[in-house]
Amino acid sequence: MSDAGQPDEATVLHEQGLRARREGDQAEAERCLREAFEKGRPAAAHDLAGLLLKRGDKAEAVEWYRRAAEQGVPESAFEVGYAEEGRGDLEEAERWYRQAAEGGYAGSYVNLGVILRDRGAVEEAKQCYLRAWELESDPKAASNLAAIYDDDGKGDLVAAAEWYGRAADLGNAIAAYNLGFVWQDRGEPGKRLEAWRRAADLKHPNAAFAIADVHLSQQNVDEGVTWLRRAVLEVGNAKAARRLRDIYANAGRHRMARFWGEFLEGPTFYSPEFQAFASEIAAVRIHQQDVFNNAFTQDYIEWDPEEATVTLDGRTLRGLTVLGSFSNLSQTWLWAWDNPTWDQDLPALAGLRTLREFGERHQIPELLKGHLDFSRFNHPAEGAFTMALAAAPIIGAKGVSFVTVNEGKGRLVLAIDDPSVPAAQFDRLAVPRLLTHAAEVWPYEQRRVVRGFMESHGFEISESPAVIVVESADGHRVTVQCPLEKAKEHPEVKAILGRDNAMIVENTPARIQGQRPGGESPYRLVVLFDLDDRITTISSGAEAASGE
């Protein structure tokens, strides 16, 4: 609305009110906007309504929109129409939408077009959408116009593709998704997938699942699974989660099936991919965090995300990365890269790109999903912090610190990578404790715990399989070498153990042994496992040598 003819005093008050709103002084903003309207500034009523709506006073906000609309503010007329439509009074909504449209407000043409289309006035609806496009290239108008041309695959598919394409080019996910069906109806399967990929990138809730369904129907299982996982992680598609569960169950991968089957309601354990990654670095990571904790008592912590620094015990360290936060109220974890309250250009968040790229390369769900529910873990906070500790080395962190935030309602996890932080050195005496601790954290991946520790410290590694003698009830014996993980799951052993009164009568444990060069006194380490791949014995030095 033009400022012409409006009192200078009203204009000044309006500007003062807008400035007060920007500065956070809501009371002053409301006073100035009210007075500006009273002195002849209709647009001030519109801004006052917006302030009231943001504050939660919806009824009063609508009344102020109505006052502004009655004095010719088209944006306010649209808001009144929207409120009337919400109340179910379509006749009154249409009246206000038409007033807003006559004032040149493009959004009103779109909403008016929907009412007309639903009433059967299709041609007038088309004209409304065309007018909205002419005024502001409104993507929703283009998508709605395309839907009219599409007519569920029975209409003008050339025009439908053109208008869906225009809307998709402007970021309309619904248009991109529907464009895929238009190409399908036109016999263009390649273009169909291209449109659905664009829709998936725009986070349409069904696009990634649709792509997965195509690949699975063509027996491209790996590609189908990739898209199913994306559908679950990016948009929470429940059908995709169930499909993943069934695919993994049919393949005999029961822990994977369980993980995806319960993922959306909150998993009870980490994904197998995360367990495999985290367990391999667990013992080394525990040792490094011990060294960090010994170097800093962390009684006093200050941190600066703009400088990417953290001050511990009066000593300022560089290389800060804010990993994320855990809510004690919802028992959930939020990676900082998915937290809308954080400026993503902050130096303290730059390292998170590396973390996400690692997650994408290795398809680790915990590193790809921004908001993770730990409420069904036995110990939710411990589960979240264990995940953060395992992820920290990806960005080179030498330790993590925890900061209480929101008056104790949550904790922030800070990762620090400063060259001055001492690095853990190989400690022969600490080996049993570190391996035992890591195995307790990752009970289903104890072989990986041992292998990862040895590889990190330069051991020459060899492995000996379990040797099992199984005897059936009739005295028949079978000796099996089981190089596979979980010896009792070996098919031949399972077959015999499944018979009545069959039993294991002899067992030579599986072992992982390694030697670490050390000049005149090399270090030898032998770890023995039971038939469920749990550590039973850790021996080292001369004791390990004599046991080989």
Most confident of 459-463, 497-501, 531-535: 459-463
Determine which helix (DSSP H) or strand (DSSP E) holds 382, and give its type and residue range: helix 380-391
| In contact, 199 and 181? CB cutoff 8 Å | no
Among residues 234, 433, 465, which one has the least CA distance to residue 338?
Answer: 234
Interval 141-174: pLDDT, tens: 999 999 999 999 999 999 999 999 999 999 999 9
Q: What is the pLDDT of residue 519?
A: 65
Backbone angles phi, psi at 131, to 5 degrees: -65, -40
DSSP codes joined into one string, 308-346 = TEEEETTEEEE-EEEEEEEETTTTEEEEGGG-TTS-TT-
Q: What is the pLDDT of residue 532?
A: 83
Among residues 253, 246, 213, which one has the least CA distance to residue 231?
Answer: 213
The rounded mean pLDDT for the chain is: 92
Q: What percent of the chain has pLDDT over 90?
A: 80
Helix (H, G, I), strand (E, B) or coil at 268: coil
What distances in angstroms separate CA 213 from CA 222, 224, 250, 283, one per listed residue?
12, 7, 17, 41
How many other CB atoms sit within 10 Å of the CB of residue 498? Answer: 8
Interval 514-532: pLDDT, tens: 999 876 678 999 999 988 8
- Residue 332, beta-bridge partner list: 327, 373
Which residues in 358-502 belong to E strands, given as ranges?
A: 371-373, 399-405, 410-416, 460-464, 466-471, 477-482
Among residues 68, 71, 409, which one has the least CA distance to residue 80?
Answer: 68
Instruction: Tell me the pLDDT band of 544, cut-offs 50, 70 and 90.
Output: low
Instruction: Tell me the pLDDT band of 488, cut-offs 50, 70 and 90.
Output: low
Q: What is the pLDDT of residue 517?
A: 85
Interval 472-484: pLDDT, tens: 777 778 787 775 4
- 332-335 β-sheet, strand order: 371-373, 332-335, 320-327, 410-416, 399-405
Model confidence at 281: pLDDT above 70 = yes
Q: What is the DSSP letter of 422?
A: P
Among residues 465, 475, 476, which one has the least CA distance to residue 531?
Answer: 465
Interval 445-474: pLDDT, tens: 999 999 999 999 999 999 998 888 888 777
- 309-312 β-sheet, strand order: 301-304, 309-312, 315-318
Q: What is the pLDDT of residue 520?
A: 66
Q: What is the pLDDT of residue 183?
A: 98
Interval 212-241: pLDDT, tens: 999 999 999 999 999 999 999 999 999 999
DSSP codes joined into one string, 505-533 = EEEEPEEEEEEE--TTS-EEEEEEE-TTS
Q: What percent of the chain has pLDDT over 70?
A: 94
Model confidence at 5: pLDDT above 70 = no
Mean pLDDT of 122-146: 95
Interval 353-389: pLDDT, tens: 999 999 999 999 999 999 999 999 999 999 999 999 9
Cα dihedral value 233, 239, 242, 247, nearest 10: -90
Q: What is the pLDDT of residue 313?
A: 86
Angle at which helix 189-201 crosses helix 173-185, to 10 degrees, equals 170
Backbone angles phi, psi at 265, to 5 degrees: -90, -5
Q: Give the span between the Cα atoms of 94 and 381, in whole angstroms.
A: 52
Q: What is the pLDDT of residue 171?
A: 97
Model confidence at 507: pLDDT above 90 = no
Which residues in 232-295 belong to E strands, given as ranges?
A: none
Mean pLDDT of 241-259: 96
Helix (H, G, I), strand (E, B) or coil at 538: strand
Mean pLDDT of 117-124: 95
Residue in this structure with the two tokens 């994320």, named with its chain if needed: 324
Helix (H, G, I), strand (E, B) or coil at 480: strand
Q: What is the pLDDT of residue 198?
A: 98
Identify the residue with better confidence: 6 or 62. Answer: 62
Q: Give the span between the Cα atoms of 213 and 235, in whole angstroms.
A: 16
Pairing of strands 410-416, 320-327: antiparallel
Q: What is the pLDDT of residue 218?
A: 96
Q: What is the pLDDT of residue 61?
A: 93
Model confidence at 266: pLDDT above 80 = yes
3-state secondary structure 457-468: CCCEEEEECEEE
To 5 degrees, how large is the angle CA 226–CA 282–CA 430?
165
Model confidence at 3: pLDDT above 60 = no
Among residues 323, 307, 313, 321, which one has the least CA distance to residue 292?
Answer: 313
| In contact, 310 and 316? CB cutoff 8 Å | yes
Model confidence at 2: pLDDT above 60 = no
Q: What is the pLDDT of residue 547?
A: 47
| In contact, 528 and 432? CB cutoff 8 Å | no
